[in-house]
Amino acid sequence: MRPLSETEIRDSIVNAAPEEAARIPLPGLHEVVWDDREYLGWRDPLLPHRGYLVHWRGEEAVGIVLRAAQPRLGVGSAICSLCHTAQPGGQVSLFTAPRAGEAGRRGDSVGTYICADLACSLLIRIAPPGYAAMPSPEELVAKRASALSGRLHAFTARVLAAA
């Protein structure tokens, strides 16, 4: 992922008013290892139900404000719709995003299940050791990264689609 500045992040938010985007608390951008990410994702430390995703869509940065559903209390497992990683149920949340533009102002939203900590880019890089019957760890991570990016772009298209 190409690095993003604070201004680029705030300007990229497609489903919030500019004054709302100006109030979004940003993560420590100086700590981000940009080469190991398909997107920048973080949760709001003051509003735990809020999350944010920013990624490059071609030459344009696109940012999305998310809202996490109440955590489930059940047991079992769940699969993140972005990274396709199976995890304990409490580590995957249903996130909804208001659609961009007039549709979002009318209350239309889209949702998907995402890793609760929004750290899919880190999870896909945990590769098993290579052996003859499997692709190399590097090939496996590259394949996972490509698939994650494709699913992220599809979700973004749903947020941007006019309803």
Q: Return the pLDDT at 3.
A: 97
Q: Return the pLDDT at 133.
A: 78
Task: For residues 14 and 21, give the distance between their C-alpha atoms in angstroms, rounded to a whole number.
Answer: 9
SS3 96: strand
The single-letter code of the amino acid at 34 is W
Q: Return the pLDDT at 73.
A: 58
Q: Return the pLDDT at 125.
A: 94
Task: For residues 63 and 152, give the distance between their C-alpha atoms in angstroms, rounded to a whole number.
Answer: 11
Which segments of 58-108 are extended strands (E)?
A: 60-68, 77-79, 86-88, 92-98
Task: For residues 100 and 6, give the distance between their C-alpha atoms in angstroms, rounded to a whole number.
Answer: 21
Per-residue pLDDT at 138 exceeds 90 = no
User: Which tokens belong to 74?
Assistant: 């059940």
At 53-87, the pLDDT tens digits run: 999 999 999 999 999 998 765 668 899 999 999 98
Per-residue pLDDT at 163 exceeds 60 = no
Beta bridge partners of 109: 98
Q: Return the pLDDT at 54.
A: 98
With beta carbons less than 8 A apart as the criterion, state whether 27 and 40 touch: yes
Q: Across all residues in the chain, what is the average pLDDT?
A: 92
Sequence ranges of the domains in the chain:
6-160
What's the count of helices (H) and strands (E) in the chain, helices before strands? 5, 7
Query: Which residue has 């990264």 as its token pair?
Result: 145
Per-residue pLDDT at 127 exceeds 90 = no
